[in-house]
Amino acid sequence: MAQTKADLFQEDEIMCASYAKALSHPARVAILKVLAQRKSCVCGDIVEELPLAQATVSQHLKELKEVGLIQGTIDGPSVCYCINPEGLQRAQKLLSGLFTAAAKCCG
Amino acid sequence: MAQTKADLFQEDEIMCASYAKALSHPARVAILKVLAQRKSCVCGDIVEELPLAQATVSQHLKELKEVGLIQGTIDGPSVCYCINPEGLQRAQKLLSGLFTAAAKCCG
DNA sequence: ATCGTCTATCGTAGATTTACGATTAAACTA
DNA sequence: TAGTTTAATCGTAAATCTACGATAGACGAT
């Protein structure tokens, strides 16, 4: 059992869930906040800010990158991460759309 | 390993992630949409709308209820589910706060 | 009281996520 | 070139999530 049925839903529901999933761990929320505050977005700085090992942070960064919320550019030996405005906007639009639709229910 | 470190983060990051987690499966997004559209929010109706077994839907409803996004009131033999406006608003506020903060980054 | 309906819960299997040490790969430095 | 730094990836263990059948509990109808 437990073969996933997540793809039996509508496209926008799946996208909405994907973005929400990317934000569903405090570490990833924290990463976005760090990126928002700092000008320099070097990976090492992020690792220092979080109570997690380097490998774990790298994994979280990968998830955020895969869904398109952040992007990383190689800067010499290190990698500079940055929020991806387009992805962020798309996520915001989808989620706030859900919220405003839902708010209409139940008077 | 893999003992959770999710509680080493800030309160608002944890809350933000909790709401996002509740929305991180297409079925739960779909449930919110059904509740938004229908006036009658009987559990059985929701089960019919989704390509999932009754037990699975009940589980998803439980998760949405536990995080405070929906509420259920017993109506005779059945249960009437409804969106919880306060929880929804709180989720919206936290997540849109994150989005607007993040949007400031990177010019 | 018994039966049928409706929903929650239990038990469980399989998949995915989380976390980290160890290793690898790339690039700079001496 | 050899050594150092930086970040991604591999391998893996534990935890959590997803999904469903079976069962239980509550309620209304007969």
Q: Which domains does chain A have, with CATH numbers?
A: 11-94 (1.10.10.10)
Q: How confident is the model at residue B93, as a pLDDT?
A: 97
Structure confidence by residue, pLDDT tens digits, B63-79: 999 999 999 999 999 99
**Binary contact (A5, B27; C-beta < 8 A):** yes
Q: Are A72 and A83 in contact (CB under 8 A)?
A: no
Q: Are B96 and A93 in contact (CB under 8 A)?
A: no
What residue in A sits closest to B86 (Cα-Cα)? A103
Q: How far is the CA of A86 from the C1' of C5 (A)?
A: 49
Distance from CA of B5 to the nearest CA of A (A): 8
> Which chain B residues are Cβ-neighbours of A6 within 8 angstroms?
25-27
- With 80 as the cut, is the pLDDT of residue A107 above it? no
CA atoms within 13 Å, Cβ hemisphere of A24: 16
Tokens, residue B64: 């949405």
Mean pLDDT value across residues A32-57: 95
Structure confidence by residue, pLDDT tens digits, A83-93: 999 999 999 99
